[in-house]
């Protein structure tokens, strides 16, 4: 039964079948499958997708679909994990989101998926995220990294607003801040006091690894 | 008199069958009537509601009855003149004429490393001098040559670039809008006695932001021409298929046309395709992709049928240097556009997408455009060109044509003579340092900058322009944006 469930999870993720993947995750919880094992099974596939993307064999539609498919199942499995008081082994925790006023998700989703694929625990706050919401998540999750995205020149400055809010809350030294998006470059990132900038999703993964020394 | 442009002397390339055309047209009207367009502008929604559109103010969505759409198309002139600073450079848009313009870029490039960097004010003005001099640049589009230059605050980029175009060229141009800057663009046009056209840009899918609609109201009220364009990325903000993304792009444009014709019946409107396939690795527009041409040819066919002057998606290459890839991407896109019967096409100067532009590239591309233009003029067939008498007179060997007056009279008309292409023999090429078109273009740029002086503004025109720029600075200071 357990084998069938793990295979079902993997197949539905490979087929980008969101509903199927959530159904298998629910079944895993009902049948008492170790959520850590179920998450590992999904991570194996998301790593395949991430590797395929890096090799140029898979493309954005694959990465976005895999990320979205995994997210639904992960919500189920993480809930079970919490209930059991377990924690997932990971390379580090990342809180990620597109800043307030900006609804562009693709770049942020790419980074989120590739980080997950690389073994990080990612809390994706979505798009149009206000500074208060970032602060709340940092207090709650205590992540190693805060990653912010902005596509528009008009919303890029919001990244600075968040960094200033971190300072005000006395949290700035507890988290490394990285920024990216169409409107951002290294000099902007340095100017607002971020710890790092990456221009592509695979670069962002390397940046996160180097910042937390993995 | 008007700018000559190129006249296509043969049937345009059409790739849709009648059945396919009808299917796309019907689906477009269906989207307008049943899905509707989100228009984030209350005055526009009220105007549409008073003309039988079904409006949902909560979702800011308007649904368009097909009759209103067809009626609005009828009101658009199929051909019209736009006034340039030099009346000989007015454009007459529509029909079989195609005009070429440069493809602007956000930044310039370093000619040794090809890396992008911001242009200086002098480089922006020099870039315009080059474009003013190039014979196959017929007009100047928005943000040309660069989206701004060093030291300019963001809100002043469009007004300052617009002023630079007026100062350094007498060619006709159109402009962008942002943060109400069209107020000052219109004032500049009125002070110079020229026609301006600001783009009414859709924000796909199926949306117009309030800023675009506000600009359209201002243009209509000032009696200027209108320009509607979608900006879809196939697979992201538009369907991934050519047919589907044509339907959404045309629905967006038609909604814009209905609005403009309600604002000012009979308004001169040009439509432009600005749809790119998506680069499925980076999420950026897939510049240089053949999908641009497929979408463009379909667009051209449909809008010719609708009877409205149209421009095709810019011939932006994906390459970063003027290499083989840059050449074939531009040549294929520009040539297919010209063959499709489009009326406006942007080509000269782009290095990579809309990110970089350089005058040296514009000079090389001007030859490409000249070649295409010559092709469009087709083949003249007359007694004189058939030259039966001459053929009889010359006869077989040892007869020859080089010494004949017929050759002297006709060869320049029959051929196109490039300005900077390498056309030397091997011995000459080796003796002259094995230069390529790039080397010749760099020399040509220096030559143009030394010799060409754009017609200056009069003292009072310059004072008017500077006053409008100062008013814009005060406007943005008062708003806390400067």
What would the two tokens of residue A2 be?
A: 């357990």
A39 lies in the same domain as A114: no
Q: Are residues A160 and A99 in the same domain?
A: yes
Rounded to the nearest angstrom, the minimum Cα separation between B118 and chain A is 13
Domain co-membership, A98 together with A192: yes
Mean pLDDT of chain B: 96
pLDDT attached to residue B71: 98
Q: Are residues A108 and A189 in the same domain?
A: yes
CA of A60: which chain B residue's CA is closest? B280
Q: Do A106 and B281 touch (CB under 8 A)?
A: no
Q: Which of A53, A60, A153 sits opposite B283 (nearest CB)?
A: A60
A110 shares a domain with A17: no
Count of domains forming chain A? 2
A107 in any annotated domain: yes
Structure token digits, residue B226: 């209108």
Instruction: Tell me how far apart the alpha carbons of residues A178 and A193 are, in angstroms, rounded to a whole number.
Output: 10
Shortest Cα–Cα distance, B281 to chain A (Å): 5
Give domain limits for chain B. 6-15+74-376, 383-414
| A206 in reach of chain B (CB within 8 A) | no
User: In 3-state terms, what secondary structure has residue B61?
Assistant: strand
- A88 inside domain: no
CA-nearest residue of chain A to B355? A182
Partner B contacted by A60 (CB < 8 A): yes
For residue B447, is pLDDT > 60?
yes
For residue A213, what pLDDT is reported?
A: 80
Do residue A35 and residue A106 come from a single domain?
Answer: no
**What is the DSSP secondary structure assignment for residue B368, as one 8-state letter?**
H
Mean per-residue pLDDT for B397-409?
97
Q: Do residues A148 and A176 share a domain?
A: yes
- List the one residue out of B278, B328, B250, B327 whose CA is nearest residue B64: B250
Proportion of chain A above pLDDT 70, given as a percent? 100
Say yes or no for a CB contact (<8 Å) between B235 and A200.
Answer: no
Chain B residues in contact with A59 by the CB 8 A cut-off are 280-281
Are the beta carbons of A59 and B280 separated by less than 8 Å? yes
Q: In a mutagenesis test of the A interface, which of B40, B157, B283 is the best target, namely the one with the most A β-carbons within 10 Å?
A: B283
Q: Which of A60, A83, A106 is the last residue of a domain?
A: A83
Q: What pTM does this model have?
A: 0.90
Is A9 an interface residue toward B (CB < 8 Å)? no
User: Confidence band (pLDDT; 50, 70, 90) for A85?
Assistant: confident
Cβ distance A60 to B154 less than 8 Å, yes or no, reads: no
CA distance A105 to A160: 19
CB contact under 8 A, B280 and A107: no
Examine the domain organization and report whether A79 and A97 are in the same domain: no
Span B82-89, mean pLDDT?
Answer: 97
Does A36 reach chain B within 8 Å, measured CB to CB? no
User: Chain B interface, mutation test: which of A61, A114, A153, most B Cβ atoms within 10 Å?
Assistant: A61
* Domain's final residue, options A31, A61, A83: A83
Co-location of A77 and A155 in the same domain: no
- The yes-or-no verdict on residue B316 having pLDDT over 70 is yes
A214: pLDDT strictly greater than 80: no
Nearest CA among A151, A203, A49, A138 for reference residue B283: A151
Answer yes or no: do B154 and A153 touch at CB < 8 A: yes
Task: Report, as an integer, the average pLDDT of B348-377.
Answer: 97
CB-based contact B118:B145 (threshold 8 Å): no
Judged against a pLDDT cut of 80, whether residue B7 lies above it is answered with yes
Partners of A60 on chain B (C-beta within 8 Å) are 278, 280-283
One domain for residues A116 and A33: no
Residue A56 with chain B: CB contacts under 8 Å: 281
Distance CA(A2)–CA(A36), nearest Å, equals 13
- Partner-chain contact A59 B154, CB within 8 Å: no
Would an 8 Å CB–CB cutoff place A79 in contact with chain B? no
CA pair distance A49, A55, nearest whole angstrom: 10
A45 and A27 both lie in a single domain: yes
Q: Would the CB atoms of B283 and A61 count as touching at under 8 Å? A: no
Mark yes or no for CB contact B280/A61 under 8 Å. yes
Task: Give B-chain residues touching A61 at CB under 8 angstroms.
Answer: 235, 280
pLDDT tens-digit map of B222-235: 999 999 999 899 99
User: What's the CATH number of domain B6-15+74-376, 3.20.20.480, 1.10.3720.10, 3.40.50.2000, 3.30.420.40?
Assistant: 3.20.20.480
pLDDT of B67 > 80? The answer is yes
Q: In a mutagenesis test of the A interface, which of B38, B281, B481 is the best target, namely the one with the most A β-carbons within 10 Å?
A: B281
Pairing assessment for the beta strands A176-180 and A145-149 based on DSSP bridges? parallel
Tell me how far CA of residue A129 lies from CA of A68, A97, A158, A177, B26, in angstroms: 18, 6, 10, 15, 40
Q: Do B278 and A60 touch (CB under 8 A)?
A: yes
Joined tokens for residue A205: 């993964």
Which of A54, A65, A106, A151 should be substituted to probe chain B, the one whose Cβ sees the most B Cβ atoms within 10 Å? Answer: A106
- What's the N-to-C CA distance of chain A in angstroms? 36
A110 touches chain B (CB under 8 A): yes
Residues near A192 by Cβ (< 8 Å), separated by ≥ 6? A157, A159, A160, A163, A179
CB B83, CB B90: distance < 8 Å: yes
B381 pLDDT above the threshold of 90: yes
The CATH number linked to A34 is 1.10.1240.10
Q: Are A193 and A171 members of one domain?
A: yes
Domain extent, residue A119, equals: 93-211
Nearest-Cα distance to chain A for B419, in Å, is 38
What is the least distance, in Å, from the CA of A136 to any CA of chain B? 31
The pLDDT of A193-197, averaged and rounded, is 95
CA distance B446 to chain A (A): 33
* pLDDT, chain A, mean: 92
Using the 3D structure, point to which of A83, A106, A123 is the last residue of a domain: A83
Spatial separation of the C-alpha atoms in residues B117 and B105, rounded to whole Å: 11
What's the confidence (pLDDT) of residue B398? 97
Give the span between the Cα atoms of A37 and A43, in whole angstroms: 10
pLDDT digit string (tens) for A96-122? 999 998 888 888 988 998 898 888 999
pLDDT digits (tens, 9 = 90+) for B94-126: 999 999 999 999 999 999 999 999 999 999 999
Q: What is the pLDDT of residue B324?
A: 95
Count of CA atoms in the C-beta half-sphere (13 A) of B71: 11
| Residues B80/B268, Cβ–Cβ less than 8 Å | yes
Q: How far is CA B199 from CA B4, B20, B320, in A?
A: 24, 29, 28
User: How many residue contacts between A and B have a Cβ separation below 8 Å?
Assistant: 17
């Amino acid at each position: 039964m357990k084998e069938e469930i793990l295979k079902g999870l993997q197949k539905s993720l490979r087929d980008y079948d969101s509903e199927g993947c959530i159904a298998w995750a629910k079944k895993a919880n009902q049948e008492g499958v170790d959520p850590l094992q179920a998450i590992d099974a999904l991570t194996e596939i998301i790593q395949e997708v991430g590797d395929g993307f890096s090799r140029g064999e898979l493309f954005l539609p694959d990465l976005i679909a895999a990320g979205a498919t995994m997210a639904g199942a992960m919500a189920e499995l993480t809930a079970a994990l919490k209930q059991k008081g377990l924690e997932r082994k990971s390379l580090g925790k990342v809180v990620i989101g597109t800043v307030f006023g900006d609804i562009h998700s693709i770049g942020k989703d790419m980074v989120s998926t590739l980080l997950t694929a690389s073994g990080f625990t990612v809390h994706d706050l979505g798009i149009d995220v206000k500074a208060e919401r970032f602060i709340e998540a940092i207090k709650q999750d205590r992540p190693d990294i805060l990653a912010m995205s902005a596509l528009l020149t008009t919303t890029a400055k919001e990244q600075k607003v968040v960094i200033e809010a971190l300072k005000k809350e006395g949290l700035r030294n507890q988290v490394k801040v990285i920024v990216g998006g169409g409107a951002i470059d290294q000099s902007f990132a340095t100017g607002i006091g971020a710890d790092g900038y990456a221009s592509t999703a695979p670069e962002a993964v390397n940046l996160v690894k180097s910042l937390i020394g993995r | 008199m008007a700018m000559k442009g190129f006249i296509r002397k043969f049937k345009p390339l059409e790739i849709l069958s009648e059945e396919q055309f009808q299917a796309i047209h019907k689906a477009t009207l269906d989207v307008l009537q049943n899905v509707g367009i989100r228009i984030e502008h209350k005055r526009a929604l009220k105007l549409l509601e008073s003309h039988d559109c079904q409006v949902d103010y909560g979702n800011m969505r308007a649904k368009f009855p097909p009759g209103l759409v067809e009626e609005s198309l009828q009101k658009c002139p199929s051909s019209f003149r736009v006034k340039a600073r030099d009346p000989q450079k007015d454009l007459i848009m529509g029909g079989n004429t195609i005009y070429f313009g440069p493809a602007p870029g956000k930044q310039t490039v370093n000619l040794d490393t090809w890396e992008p960097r911001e242009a200086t004010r002098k480089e922006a003005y020099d870039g315009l001098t080059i474009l003013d001099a190039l014979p196959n640049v017929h007009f100047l589009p928005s943000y040309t040559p660069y989206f701004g230059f060093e030291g300019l605050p963001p809100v002043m980029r469009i007004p300052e670039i617009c002023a630079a175009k007026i100062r350094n060229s007498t060619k006709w141009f159109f402009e962008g809008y942002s943060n109400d800057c069209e107020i000052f663009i219109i004032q500049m046009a009125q002070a110079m006695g020229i026609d301006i056209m600001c783009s009414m840009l859709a924000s796909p899918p199926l949306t117009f932001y309030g800023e675009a609609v506000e600009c359209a109201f201002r243009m209509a009220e000032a009696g200027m021409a209108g320009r509607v364009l979608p900006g879809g990325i196939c697979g992201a903000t538009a369907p991934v298929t050519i047919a589907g993304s044509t339907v959404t792009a045309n629905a967006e444009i038609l909604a814009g046309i209905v609005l403009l014709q309600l604002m000012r019946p009979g308004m001169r409107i040009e439509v432009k395709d600005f749809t790119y396939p998506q680069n499925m690795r980076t999420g950026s527009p897939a510049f240089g992709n053949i999908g641009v041409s497929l979408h463009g040819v379909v667009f051209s066919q449909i809008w010719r049928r609708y009877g409205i002057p149209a421009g095709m998606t810019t011939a932006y290459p994906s390459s970063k240097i003027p290499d083989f890839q840059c050449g074939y991407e531009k040549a294929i896109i520009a040539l297919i556009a010209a063959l499709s019967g489009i009326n406006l096409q942007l080509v000269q100067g782009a290095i990579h997408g809309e990110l970089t532009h350089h005058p040296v590239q514009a000079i090389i591309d001007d030859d490409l455009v000249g070649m295409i233009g010559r092709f469009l003029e087709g083949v003249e067939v007359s007694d004189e060109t058939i030259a039966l008498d001459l053929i009889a007179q010359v006869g077989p060997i040892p007869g020859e044509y080089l010494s004949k007056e017929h050759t002297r009279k006709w060869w320049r008309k029959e051929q196109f003579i490039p300005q900077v292409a390498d056309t030397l023999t091997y011995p000459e090429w080796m003796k002259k340092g094995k230069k390529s078109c790039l080397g010749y273009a760099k020399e040509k740029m220096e030559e143009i900058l030394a010799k060409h002086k754009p017609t200056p503004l009069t003292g009072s025109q310059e004072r008017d322009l500077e006053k409008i720029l100062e008013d814009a600075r005060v406007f943005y200071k008062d708003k806390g944006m400067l």
